[in-house]
């Protein structure tokens, strides 16, 4: 019998199923709410960014006006750096809720600035927001379980199971078709708002299709699981409880165990140590012979060797040199910290297949550029920008150029 006829036949039967209608409607509403809230949040973030950029410019220009010399200007001017939300970020806000995506930095030692957290209300971050990724990873499986768990148990309870099995030709029928229709209806209802949101945001088609494919595959995983358990000859309550147990295992227990295991397996240097080390290095420099600091600096920047002598107790070029030396001293720890986080993430990426909900979240976050890799890319851009700032100011400081506001026009922008 052709698939189409089967779908039509079962579809006519399912169309009268009010309970299924409720589940599908619920899915649509929840997915819609998730997408809507994501769209609102992204719009708010973008508005905030443009507002801040303006304020930042005003503040910097004011600082530049008040400090007509290179050293003070460099000391007092702040620059806004940011990671704007991508056009798929509405679906998976990911690490944007717990990692800062904006920093105002100046030319001082970077290690003291780049680790600050600009997180919002920690209680809200702890409770977790309702975005599409959360909905798809955790709520959608429960809906699928709801519509599929009593696929056969329902018929057994009604006394129709044997008749259906005896009448239907071919193995797996009518269960497979019914499961397909029920699961398909729910998944369709879930994806519709996502596609709508993508249209609003102007998300690229490849991204939308990939995301939809991920959600469908994920739905297939849970659908197959529910279908397999639904075939058991036990009460639907028992089947439901078993599926809930599996949901709890995959959603909470496995990820938490993996997290604890990975954290234990890949130790990180203490963040506090990075801060302490950098501070000590920066402050020691005040007491060390200038030559020691300048040597450490010039080792990295031999081009300034001709200008590297410092005779007065204070000179801006020396001040900024020891700021950089502070960074250099903390660099091994900072690199180790970064490497440790990356190692943890790589391990997580490999093992997360054991926890499909987390796998889906990570996949969606990768598409939305809100995962750890995107965050590190942003951090790298900040570091690069800081390097550009230094490259701009060093010639002016070392060659002792006279102050000229015109030159500021060439100041690097993020």
Which candidate, 188, 48, 205, 43, places its Cα nearest to that of 118? 48
Piece of 190-198, 312-320, 377-385, 406-414 that binds another protein (CB under 8 A): 312-320
48 binds another protein (CB under 8 A): yes
Strand (E) or helix (H) holding 104: strand 102-105
Which residues 136-155 are close enough to bind another protein by CB under 8 A? Answer: 137-139, 142, 146, 150, 153
Q: Distance (Å, rounded) from C-alpha 389 to C-alpha 384? A: 9
With respect to another protein, which residue has the nearer C-beta, 254 or 396?
254
Helix (H) or strand (E) holding 82: strand 79-82
Picking from 293, 286, 327, 319, the residue whose alpha carbon sits closest to that of residue 398 is 319
Q: What tokens were used for 54?
A: 């303006």
Q: Does 285 bind another protein (CB under 8 A)?
A: no
β-strand partners of 104: 80
Instruction: Read off the tokens for 406.
Output: 């015109």
Told to check if 105 binds another protein by CB under 8 A, we report no
Interface with another protein, residue 241, by CB under 8 A:
yes
Smaller CB separation from another protein, 85 or 357: 357
Q: Is 174 in the site for another protein (CB under 8 A)?
A: yes
As measured in angstroms, the least distance from the Cβ of 303 to another protein is: 26
Q: How far apart are CA 116 and CA 147, in angstroms?
A: 46
Q: Which of 159, 202, 206, 402 binds another protein (CB under 8 A)?
A: 159
Closer residue to another protein in complex, CB, 49/305: 49
Stretch that binds another protein, among 129-137, 296-304, 322-330, 387-395 (CB under 8 A): 129-137
Report, in Å, the least distance between residue 411 CB and another protein. 18
Three-class DSSP category at 170: coil
Cα–Cα distance, 137 to 410 (Å, whole number): 48
Check binding of 352 to another protein (CB under 8 A). yes
CB-nearer residue toward another protein: 208 or 240? 240
């Amino acid at each position: 019998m052709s698939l189409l006829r089967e779908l039509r036949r079962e579809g006519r039967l399912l169309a009268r199923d009010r309970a299924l209608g409720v589940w599908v409607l619920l899915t649509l509403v929840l997915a819609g709410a998730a997408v809507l809230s994501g769209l609102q949040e992204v719009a708010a973030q973008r508005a905030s960014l443009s507002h801040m950029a303006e304020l930042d410019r005003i503040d910097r220009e004011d600082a530049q006006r008040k400090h007509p010399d290179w050293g003070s200007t460099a000391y007092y001017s702040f620059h806004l750096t940011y990671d704007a939300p991508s056009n798929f970020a509405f679906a998976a806000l990911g690490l944007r809720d717990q990692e800062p995506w904006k920093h105002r930095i100046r030319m001082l030692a970077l290690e003291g600035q780049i680790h600050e957290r600009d997180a919002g209300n920690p209680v809200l971050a702890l409770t977790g927001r309702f975005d599409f990724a959360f909905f798809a990873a955790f709520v959608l499986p429960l809906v699928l379980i709801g519509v599929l768990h009593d696929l056969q148990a329902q018929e057994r309870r009604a006394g129709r199971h044997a008749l259906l099995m005896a009448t239907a030709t071919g193995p797996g029928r009518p269960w497979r078709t019914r499961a397909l229709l029920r699961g398909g209806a729910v998944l369709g209802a879930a994806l519709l708002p996502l596609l709508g949101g993508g249209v609003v945001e102007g998300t690229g088609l490849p991204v939308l299709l990939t995301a939809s494919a991920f959600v469908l595959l994920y739905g297939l995983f849970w659908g197959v699981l529910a279908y397999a358990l639904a075939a058991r000859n036990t009460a639907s309550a028992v089947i439901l409880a078993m599926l809930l147990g599996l949901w709890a295992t995959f959603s909470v227990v496995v990820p938490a165990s993996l997290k604890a295991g990975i954290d234990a397996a890949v130790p990180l240097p203490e963040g506090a140590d990075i801060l302490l080390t950098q501070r000590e290095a920066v402050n020691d420099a005040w007491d060390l012979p200038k030559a020691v600091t300048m040597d450490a600096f010039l080792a990295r920047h031999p081009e300034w060797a001709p200008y590297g002598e410092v005779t007065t107790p204070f000179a801006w070029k020396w001040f900024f040199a020891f700021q950089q030396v502070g960074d250099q001293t903390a660099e091994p720890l900072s690199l180790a910290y970064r490497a440790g986080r990356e190692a943890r993430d790589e391990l997580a990426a490999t093992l997360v297949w054991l926890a499909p909900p987390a796998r889906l979240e990570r996949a969606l976050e990768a598409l939305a550029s809100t995962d750890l890799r995107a965050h590190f890319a942003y951090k790298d851009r900040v570091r690069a920008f800081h390097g550009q700032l230094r490259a701009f100011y060093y010639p002016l400081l070392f060659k002792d150029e006279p102050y000229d506001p015109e030159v500021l026009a060439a100041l690097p922008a993020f």
